[in-house]
Structure 1
């Protein structure tokens, strides 16, 4: 992703040192519902360090003799972090697990049972705790103020840089594979094509954030001129109380989940959006997915690749609200611990980038 990300907030950038390591990046999965305590599935609450979810599944499969596909999990967690997540496996393999699971990197925190296995997406969200270094006392105070402001106003739900591979260009390979028209082979190809899907979503979202910024920071006349929009339309858009402007035909969804609907009455939808009751969605293009209509369709179309049909399409919230924001500053060590909750599929790094206003992607040492 070589283009600069468009930020929604216009405060001055902050300075801090971010590194995603097991000592500085903690994430805990919040399950979608509480487990029943009885049933044929063993539910493990697992704390792991320096280990990807894929690797965890492999280790559990080896210990139990199960196929990897028989082990359920809700979401993928990074390797370079200390993470707590839930997995499920058939209860009858519990003895094998107890006998054969021996690794320092995995700690079983709790066990319970459930009638059904855990499936992908079976989580509400994640709670993060991230330690930032080299941050001044003023920037730490400002960080807290801005983060709390974002808790009320929300942030754009960009995919994080992690989605786009080491060189940030994996989406280009994905585009090639998508355009070849062939069936996808294996998880690597699926991942590359979904990186391309995510890239299109991010570019669409950046364009909508940009036009919203133009409307909120200029007079109606100036904004109309800059955007090449009729002045009447800009007047209506600028009346909306929230930063991210809605258009007729936008697909909105109750937040944090519910049934999709189109924006038909702009001010009514805008008011619900301002209160955090609904959020607009962006397109992850692919097979059988609903597209926006009317004005919103024209804003979406340049980022919609109809040739991408090897993956199912989806809609993704364009705007989310961080919750439970708390910060703790260590004056001696010039370290800030930031705690917050994000809904599933959202990236902690996206939130931190919106606050700091710089890319957190670590440059590889040459």
Structure 2
């Protein structure tokens, strides 16, 4: 996708393992995509913030937050969450509500049958972005058409080598609408109205630039190995360090999955990448200079994201013409990035 053009944001990104081994349909029903958040910490059971584990079905995260705020008789700004979750899914998600006084609240009063509260506790601080260790998934791919032996071989390869840590199509809005808005904004047009909408557009633009760099590194085979000048991401944490020379010790740790190469989440400030790594990123993002400037002007700081993700506990079974997958991913990784390396799914069902 060229600057200013909108299409399938993932269409031009190559595959790491040779392309899908079959076809299927994901999200035929909301219960075909089950995701459960895993908190990075245990709530203390006391404090000013009520923590609610909510199971939502075919409902937006922001919509649920608004209904929780309405139930408590307060503004939506006092409700927080750690990350957005897919609408067409069954999502078990944590919310926090700033409610210092211990008042009884009927949290499901405005649920309209689309969510229920599974657990309620308290904590001293509000839930923040980065508060998740990861997510557990159970996916059902229906109308499966694939050779079982090829399917098993590819799943084994994915379990061993991981997949590119791409941002999924959910990040870009229906039909790439968030990228469309970014192209208008960074092309000199009006900024999106509303803080939430503006944040979604900025997030999508940033994700798209990351995916451009990831595509280049998939193409040259370096998505899972370190380049000279790599900004190295430590597995299981948000820590990144510069490696001007990727020596054999670092290469071994990368092969073991202890650390990963990274790509840019564009914003203002210096990048930890240098040398060959920085040169590759500069070449890939040169046509997107207006987008880079726009992200910097919006006040975002330069960050890094791992280019590879290794699924944990990957299990699968066949049930007739359906494939059932179970696995866990670190926070921020997309289940659809794993499915993309396995099966071709219609965009409207995989999005």
Corresponding residue to 1:32 among 26, 29, 40: 40
Deviates more, 1:283-292 or 1:105-114: 283-292
RMSD: 2.5
Label 1:37 to 1:156 Cα distance change in 2 as closer, same or farther (>3 A). same
Which residue, out of 42, 45, 50, partners 1:42? 50
Q: CA–CA distance in 2 between the matches of 1:150 and 1:102?
A: 38
Partner of 2:237: 257
> By how many angstroms is 1:259 displaced?
2.8
The question of 1:10 aligning with 2:18 is answered yes
CA-CA distance at 1:98 after TM superposition: 5.1
Structure 2's unaligned 5+ residue stretches are 1-6
* TM-score normalised per structure 1: 0.83
- For residues 60-106 of structure 1, the C-alpha deviation after alignment (integer angstroms, 9 at most, x for no partner) is 11111121111121111111111101111125264133584553212
Selected match of 2:215 from 184, 201, 206: 206
Name 1:64's counterpart in structure 2.
72
Q: 1:112 to 1:360 in 2, by over 3 A?
A: same
Return the offset for 1:147. Answer: 2.2
Report how far residue 154 of structure 1 moved: 1.3
Q: 1 CA distance for matches of 2:215 and 2:346?
A: 17
Taking the aligned partners of 1:248 and 1:44, their CA distance within structure 2 comes to 45
| Higher gyration radius (CA) | 1
Aligned length: 331
Higher normalized strand content (fraction of residues): 2
2:325 aligned with 1:344: no
1:116 is paired with a residue whose SS is: coil
Are 1:299 and 2:280 an aligned pair?
yes
Question: Following the alignment from structure 1 to structure 2, what is the Cα–Cα distance between the partners of residues 46 and 363?
Answer: 24
- Please state if 1:132 is matched with 2:141: yes
5+ residue gaps in structure 1?
214-242
Residues 322-354 of structure 1: CA deviation (Å, up to 9, x unaligned) = 1111112213xx111111111111111111011
Q: State the distance in 2 between where 1:83 and 1:37 align.
A: 23
The equivalent of 1:217 in structure 2 is none
The farther-off stretch of 181-190 and 307-316 is: 181-190
Higher normalized contact order (CA 8 Å, seq sep 6+, divided by chain length):
2
Equivalent residue for 2:29, pick from 2, 21, 25: 21
